[in-house]
A and B are shown apart, each in its own frame.
Chain A
Amino acid sequence: MEIPLTIKKLHQDLIDKKYSLVELIDRYLERIEKFDKKINSFITVSSGYAYKKAKELEESMNQLEDKSFKKYPLLGTVVAHKDLFCTKGLRTTAASKVLTDYVPNYSATVVNKLEEAGSIIIGKTNCDAWAHGASGENSDFGLTKNPWNKDYVPGGSSSGSAVSVAANFSMFATGTDTGGSIRQPANFTGVVGFKPTYGAVSRYGVIAMASSLDSIGHFTRTVEDARKIFGVTKGEDLKDGTVKNTEYPKTEARLRIGIPKEYFIEGLDKDVENEVRRCSRIFEKEGIELEEISLPHTKYAISVYYIIQPAEVSSNLARYDGIRYGEKREMFDDEAKRRIMLGTYVLSAGYYDAYYLKAMKVRSKVIEDFEKAFKKVNAILAPVSPTPAFKIGEKVNNPLKMYLADIFTVAANIAGIPGLTIPSGFNSKNLPLGFQLLGPRFSENILFDLGELFEKVTNYKPSIAKLS
């Protein structure tokens, strides 16, 4: 049997009784066993958990028959959770030695919702420790490699989740996007990456990085699947006060896409630029008007982010005291220490106004830019990162250089708006290329519609990295 690449194909196969869910789990585990040693996308593989759930679902399917898909919209979809998502009874490490042996007593809301919808957890994925990083190299459990070219990073921080989808170790994977940690690794590994509006998906039970920026999203191979999964994960749970049930407007008949001139700066890789321009013309051919727009405070977004984010990090990581669970604070990696100290510094008396308050004010300016732009256009199309995946080791010794890899993604987090990364091709080094779409708050339908249109007119077929 061949592992299906989309939820639609999986469900057709299950209707046709081509294989059982247990057989499907066998195939995924075989692949992980055979190929993951070299790319290291998993911290924990949960085969026992997966078989148990597969058998439960099979029993349920025997009873419900064709009603199964109504009860379980994600029936049989194998999911890998970023190791920041608490999973009851299954070790959750945040890729940090501090939580090496931490086994949560409860699951994240998103984990529960996905299980109730019929998904099967196959394991917990590697990431930059505490989601601090843009390359997947900053894990206490070893770096993750890009399956398309193993000399290159997969991006981060949700490195293992992106790789798990690109390498066909799972149907989809969850991630967190605080400054680009879903969109950038999706772009580097050639999969669809979705960051919802802040306040659309509950953060409960997901180890917090920066609470005013963290968004809970996912990696898939098609936009259609990203939409399906969002249909399950979104909505109130009464455990996260920032999440409200809300209306998601429908797409208008006539659409305009803005191309922000500030995203085409010096240092932008030529292949990346050409690909983004080529993709924008594909939309134009479909009758969508393109308009050059300006987001003048984009250049300050990184600075705003590297004040607000460490400030919130220092507060969130204060709870790891090694008393109630986890190891002592000595076990924090250097990057966590840097962010805790930077955050403590910018929040301390005497520096608060100069750094933190100033950053919150410039945050307002970044938001204002987007609000002005969205009066003229329905969505924005832009590069995801200044370059395709970079080489392993290239930026590890220079924190500031690593931070700048987030330059095109952080603004969406600062403004709390949704983003969707779409793969579109490869460069000469077999590294994936693509673009991101950004929209106003709760404009997910528009982003998904545009993404599906793109996949349709380009006759997009998901591809899997060839592994040996």
Chain B
Amino acid sequence: MSKITSEEIKHIAKLANLKIGDKEVNKFQKQLSSVLDYVSELEKVDTAKIEPTNQTTGLQNVFRVDKVRKECSLNVKDALSGTEETYNDYFKISAIFDEK
């Protein structure tokens, strides 16, 4: 597996909505490359006939009754209590699209 390039660092930072400076690009490129180098040892493990594991509980399709439970919901006031700007009981955010 090849090392991660500075272009790739910039690209994934953008995907993850992180702003990183040029100096940081170099630092992260070096650090992430060494981690990727290390984890590439997994290539040595033969997993040809192995099923992947994504969780360990063995539980599947855990259902509950489709009923609103008060203790699991927040009222509007509580839901908005962590934000600075609201508008008519909504969160106020910056525009996402800049063209009409």
Query: Is B95 interfacial (CB-CB < 8 Å)?
Result: no
Complex partner residue of A332 from B18, B56, B64, CB under 8 angstroms: B18
The stretch from A56-64, A226-234, A342-350 touching chain B is: A342-350
> Are B56 and A241 neighbours in the complex by a CB distance under 8 Å?
no
Task: List A residues 391-425 near B (Cβ within 8 Å).
Answer: 399-400, 403, 415-416
> Are B38 and A300 neighbours in the complex by a CB distance under 8 Å?
no
Number of A-B contacts (CB under 8 A): 142
> Are B56 and A198 neighbours in the complex by a CB distance under 8 Å?
yes
Q: Which residues of chain B come closer than 8 Å to A242, judged between CB atoms?
A: 55, 57, 59, 62
Query: Is A329 interfacial (CB-CB < 8 Å)?
Result: yes
Q: Known contacts being A345-B32, A415-B56, is A359 close to B18, with CB within 8 Å?
A: no
> Are A340 and B16 neighbours in the complex by a CB distance under 8 Å?
yes
> Are B47 and A362 neighbours in the complex by a CB distance under 8 Å?
yes
Q: Which residues of chain A come closer than 8 Å to B54, judged between CB atoms?
A: 212, 360
In the assembled complex, the Cα of A441 lies from the Cα of B55 at a distance in Å of 13
Q: Known contacts being A363-B52, A365-B50, is A306 close to B13, with CB within 8 Å?
A: no
Q: Mark B33-45, 1 if CB is under 8 A from A, else 0.
A: 0111011011101
In the assembled complex, the Cα of A354 lies from the Cα of B41 at a distance in Å of 11
Q: Known contacts being A103-B82, A345-B4, is A360 close to B41, with CB within 8 Å?
A: no
Q: Which residues of chain B come closer than 8 Å to A323, judged between CB atoms?
A: 83, 91, 93
Task: List A residues 190-220 near B (Cβ within 8 Å).
Answer: 198-199, 212
Q: Which residues of chain B come closer than 8 Å to A338, judged between CB atoms?
A: 28, 31-32, 35
Query: Is B72 interfacial (CB-CB < 8 Å)?
Result: yes
> Are B53 and A363 neighbours in the complex by a CB distance under 8 Å?
yes
- In this complex, how many residues of chain B approach chain A with their Cβ under 8 Å: the count is 47
> Are B19 and A105 neighbours in the complex by a CB distance under 8 Å?
no
In the assembled complex, the Cα of A199 lies from the Cα of B20 at a distance in Å of 37
Query: Is A364 interfacial (CB-CB < 8 Å)?
Result: yes
Minimum C-beta distance from A329 to chain B (A): 6
- In this complex, how many residues of chain A approach chain B with their Cβ under 8 Å: the count is 55
> Are A341 and B82 neighbours in the complex by a CB distance under 8 Å?
no
Minimum C-beta distance from B89 to chain A (A): 13
Task: List A residues 344-385 near B (Cβ within 8 Å).
Answer: 344-345, 348, 354-355, 357-365, 367
> Are B16 and A367 neighbours in the complex by a CB distance under 8 Å?
no
Q: Known contacts being A362-B42, A367-B56, is A314 close to B32, with CB within 8 Å?
A: no
In the assembled complex, the Cα of A163 lies from the Cα of B3 at a distance in Å of 39
In the assembled complex, the Cα of A343 lies from the Cα of B13 at a distance in Å of 11
Q: Which residues of chain A come closer than 8 Å to B72, judged between CB atoms?
A: 239
Minimum C-beta distance from A22 to chain B (A): 30
In the assembled complex, the Cα of A357 lies from the Cα of B52 at a distance in Å of 7
Query: Is A330 interfacial (CB-CB < 8 Å)?
Result: yes
Minimum C-beta distance from B57 to chain A (A): 4
> Are A365 and B93 neighbours in the complex by a CB distance under 8 Å?
no
Minimum C-beta distance from A395 to chain B (A): 13
Complex partner residue of B52 from A329, A330, A340, A361, CB under 8 angstroms: A361
Query: Is B68 interfacial (CB-CB < 8 Å)?
Result: no
> Are B39 and A303 neighbours in the complex by a CB distance under 8 Å?
yes
Query: Is A337 interfacial (CB-CB < 8 Å)?
Result: yes
Complex partner residue of B82 from A325, A357, A363, CB under 8 angstroms: A325
Q: Known contacts being A306-B39, A345-B4, A399-B35, is A362 close to B18, with CB within 8 Å?
A: no
Query: Is B78 interfacial (CB-CB < 8 Å)?
Result: yes
Query: Is A244 interfacial (CB-CB < 8 Å)?
Result: yes
> Are B34 and A400 neighbours in the complex by a CB distance under 8 Å?
yes
Query: Is A238 interfacial (CB-CB < 8 Å)?
Result: yes
> Are B18 and A337 neighbours in the complex by a CB distance under 8 Å?
yes
> Are A198 and B50 neighbours in the complex by a CB distance under 8 Å?
no
Q: Which residues of chain A come closer than 8 Å to B81, judged between CB atoms?
A: 103, 105
Q: Which residues of chain B come closer than 8 Å to A297, judged between CB atoms?
A: 45
Q: Which residues of chain B come closer than 8 Å to A354, judged between CB atoms?
A: 1
Q: Which residues of chain B come closer than 8 Å to A329, judged between CB atoms?
A: 17-19
Q: Name the CB-closest residue of A to B63.
A: A241
Chain B CB within 10 A, most for which of A306, A341, A360: A341
Q: Known contacts being A238-B64, A344-B12, is A300 close to B32, with CB within 8 Å?
A: no
A-B pairs, 4 with minimum CB distance? A325-B82, A416-B56, A360-B52, A361-B47
**19 other A-B residue contacts (CB within 8 Å) besides A238-B64, A324-B79:** A103-B81, A238-B69, A300-B42, A304-B42, A323-B93, A332-B18, A337-B20, A341-B12, A341-B16, A341-B28, A342-B35, A345-B36, A355-B36, A360-B52, A361-B51, A363-B52, A364-B51, A365-B45, A441-B56
